[in-house]
Structure 1
């Protein structure tokens, strides 16, 4: 139509934009201006029509209404996009622009808009060519009369259509609704129908005029979007529940004490230990890292850290099973190397085999000797007199990696004031500098610290804070006597 040429063009990709406004805000502003221009075109169309009711002018006005409906729908969707809320298609009125939803590529192209007019006095029915295509009806069969029209619609929609047509013809009420039809080729379609009565000079209804829009692909795409959003929401709820279960399982097996403790309890001449768990970011599944310090019969103390491969509930469950086995065997007097060998045998027959890296230590306070073994894990660090060094590592592969393997064990004499530090591999994951070098650089602070808890605080200050992509654990033990 001629009036449509007055509509401004949307800004192209190279149009200047204010840097302080987002792309979505810019689009909203452009749509608001376009909506105002469209309303001006609609007013001009109505004014040009005057008292006349030519079909061409009614068609132009209907197209203006459809365009306004689409712009309003797009404004709602962009507003939801800017605020971060998902589009709720059920709350949108009318038909939105197809560009927001991909069409089904398997569907052959369908006409979008057709028109019809039913003349009541002459029984003449005028259908546009597009409307025949929408209904899948051969133009040679002629248009449908008002009596035959409802039979093409879904039985559930027929009463509503009949009521709207009656209200339009008798009371002059406009028609505006969506209805389902089934074409002769069996293809179901969804149509958005708007209509109004055409009055004669005496104010009586002379005919009923409608615009029909095929919105099948649009509604199908929106259903797909809603189903995808529902599936995504279920996955998010499941992931949150799984993380909560894994977190609770993980926390339930870590040592319950907070701050530094003497092990064995009440014996100030043995060890003072303190441990800390560095959790990953809130949206990262819990891993299977742990630290442990357990007093053993006879006065010895079990010390260890480890990491079960994987994340979530399986990793937390594997950690719980393995840590319980290590504690039980250590209470029976098993030395670290033999303990790791039996743990490896346990993983070989486990229903859910896992891979585990760990360090297992047994401290004898009477001899001030640390006996330890490892399964492909970083060595403990020993700090003495203001300097630190890693302990010489014995051989040992990952637990669960291979059957019929043995683990070597070494002994390290300790002195009063020595600080032993065990940590998991993910401690320095947030920095390109190796964790070992950063820990060894803390030796002067450890030497000046009055206790194990102060040493641990220095580690937390060095490695804590910020967003962490992996869990980590650290355990410090100071020889106090």
Structure 2
């Protein structure tokens, strides 16, 4: 946990050279500790020297780990190891604070007293020696704290020790002790113990046999360290990393499915689409484009569509559903399929909006949506349209642009039994319609400025060669700007 000295100081990124200086300091400190460790080997029979050497060994291991961590910090954090949120680290720190087992009184831990909150290494490291010749056992005060054992109960023999070891780990302890006593191998391993208070702790034990003059094992000494908080921290980081990797995999998969679904539903044409009606009236030149959101990698529920109807009319529509990802694109596919079917059946825009509203109300995946639906009759050059909480189409004529007056209509899925009014406007040869979703022009919850920017494109749009050139102009103006949401734009040009 952070030192209290720095609790009121915000974390800052290391300045250039700081990590290199820390690495140099760590190397120097490791050399100093290693020198102390070599001096401690002079008298193997002195328990104090063995204890000192064991602590030095532990300190060297920790400094090696610190050097490795600083090297990783200098190299930079790998992308796959970045934590998705601060909550995991908070849990680690909270768990570590709860797990510190230190008290000035060796019996405080077993007695249920609150442990002193300190990060001292000595508070989590204890030593023991088991003499095989006289069956004497000696424990340090710290070891009683680690096991939560009353010092008045005395130390535990090697035969009694497994009674506190986690059942699955008893074989691990037995193997280490056997290798030490029979084969003279050093001890270095971990096992879990169940303290007298019922808490499970993870201990790391290091030690070796002490030989007599005949080379036989006379005793076994060991240093035991409570590494529970360290292992919990490592596990939390590992689980956080795995969770992040799973989340990224799910996100990539969801995006791929959403893109494929969107591409399967939206109009297959690219570039301009000409509606040749075969009867009286000017044909239409149509082009559309989808712009993804800049703030999210997920595909939304925006759509644009142009469809030639059986009676010679043309269906023109754009819309937007709330949400992102597969749920939004699947709802969009359902809504757009219903819209096309009702338009082919001859249902007028106002009634069509009412049916879409009812469809969203009864959908398994509730959502809100905005839409504009237009039906163009080439014989009379009349555009009849209705809207549901959606920006009005923009009409460009003779080098200027204006927004059509919107008929009444609430958001799809917002209320039961909503009625949608219709409006009609006669289009002239050369007229240009721009239909778009609000994600194109909205910034900070407002779209007045964006709509005006779109209207200011009138000279470029009316002077363009075709609808596709108009779309390119719109994308050049709005495509690079950060957007809170994805967007669609569709341009309809009335031929001569």
2:242 aligned residue: 230
Which of 266, 276, 284 is residue 254 of structure 1 equivalent to?
266
Partner of 1:6: none
Q: Does the CA-based 8 Å contact 1:284-1:469 persist in structure 2?
A: no
Contact 1:28/1:75, CA 8 A, preserved across alignment: no
Is 2:146 aligned against 1:134? yes
Is residue 469 of structure 2 the alignment partner of residue 454 of structure 1?
A: yes
Structure 1 CA distance for aligned equivalents of residues 150 and 14 of structure 2: 50
Relative to 1, partners in 2 of residues 1:416 and 1:315: Cα closer, same or farther, differing over 3 Å?
same
Q: Tell me the residue number matched to 2:120.
A: none
Per the normalisation by structure 2, the TM-score is 0.82
Go from structure 1 to structure 2 and tell me whether the alpha carbon gap of 1:23 and 1:385 turns closer, same or farther (over 3 Å shift): same
1:346 aligns to what SS in structure 2?
helix
Distance in 2 of aligned mates of 1:438 and 1:376: 21
Q: Residue 49 and residue 310 in structure 1: after superposition, are their counterparts in 2 closer, same or farther (change >3 A)?
A: closer
Q: What are structure 1's unaligned runs of at least 5 residues?
A: 1-9, 14-18, 89-98
In structure 2, C-alpha distance between the alignment counterparts of 1:173 and 1:439, rounded to whole Å: 80
CA distance in 1, matches of 2:46, 2:232: 35
Q: Show CA shifts across 1:107-166 (max 9, x none).
A: 583541110122333433221111122223333333223344344433443343333333
Listed as ranges, the matches of 1:31-430 within 5 Å are: 31-47=23-39, 49-51=41-43, 53-80=45-72, 82-84=76-78, 101-103=93-95, 109-110=101-102, 111-200=123-212, 205-264=217-276, 269-281=282-294, 283-429=296-442
- Contact kept? 1:295, 1:302, Cα under 8 Å: yes
Change (3 A) 1:207 1:28: farther
In structure 2, do the counterparts of structure 1 residues 342 and 152 end up closer, same or farther at CA, with 3 Å as the change threshold? closer
Q: Give the secondary structure class of the aligned counterpart of 1:61.
A: helix
Cα separation, partners in 2 of 1:341 and 1:134, compared to 1, 3 Å: closer
Answer whether contact 2:288 2:490 (CA < 8 A) is retained: yes
Corresponding residue number in structure 2 for 1:464 = 479
Partner of 1:406, secondary structure, is: coil
1:309 and 1:186, CA in 2 relative to 1: closer, same or farther beyond 3 A? Answer: closer
Q: Which moved more, 1:471-480 or 1:402-411?
A: 402-411
Partner of 2:87: none
Structure 1 residues 429 and 144: alpha-carbon distance in aligned structure 2, compared to 1, 3 A threshold = same
Structure 2 counterpart SS, 1:287: coil
The 8 Å contact of residues 264 and 295 in structure 1, kept in 2 or not, is answered as no
Contact 1:103 1:218 in 2 (8 A): no
* Counterpart-to-counterpart distance in 2, 1:406 and 1:233: 47
Give, in whole Å, the separation in 2 of the partners of 1:49 and 1:348: 80
Please list the CA deviations of residues 397-427 of structure 1 after superposition, one character each: whole Å capped at 9, or x if unmatched: 1222223332222221111111111111000
Shift of 1:87: 6.4
Query: Given the superposition, is the C-alpha separation of residues 45 and 249 from structure 1 closer, same or farther in structure 2, using an over 3 Å criterion?
Result: closer
Measure how far apart 1:38 and its partner are. Answer: 2.9
- For 1:4-23, list aligned pairs within 5 A: 22=14
RMSD over aligned CA atoms reads 3.2
Q: Are the aligned partners of 2:191 and 2:203 in contact in 1 as well (CA < 8 Å)?
A: yes
Q: 1:456 to 1:251 in 2, by over 3 A?
A: same
Give the C-alpha shift of residue 192 in structure 1.
0.4
Report if aligned partners of 1:101, 1:218 keep a CA contact under 8 Å in 2: no
Residue 104 of structure 1 deviates from its aligned partner by 5.3
Deviation at 1:471, TM superposition (A): 0.8
Counterparts of 1:46 and 1:226 in 2: how far apart (Å)? 36
1:257 CA displacement: 0.2
Aligned partners of 1:42 and 1:61 also within 8 Å: no
- The equivalent residue for 1:5 is none
Structure 1 pair 87/443, CA: closer, same or farther in 2 (3 Å)?
Answer: closer
Q: d(CA) in 2 for partners of 1:312 and 1:424? A: 18
Q: Give the 3 Å change call, closer, same or farther, for CA 369–59 of structure 1 in structure 2.
A: same
Contact 2:295 2:483 in 1 (8 A): no
**Structure 2 unaligned regions, length at least 5:** 7-11, 83-90, 103-122
- Per the TM alignment, residue 175 of structure 1 is displaced from its structure 2 partner at its CA by 0.9
Counterpart-to-counterpart distance in 1, 2:362 and 2:171? 68
Q: Any idea what the Cα deviations from partners look like across 1:232-287, whole Å, max 9, x if unmatched?
A: 44344333333333332222211110000101478894100000000124844322
Measured at CA, do residues 321 and 160 of structure 1 come closer, stay the same or move farther in structure 2, by a change above 3 Å? Answer: closer
Q: For 1:474 and 1:163, how far apart are their aligned partners in 2?
A: 72
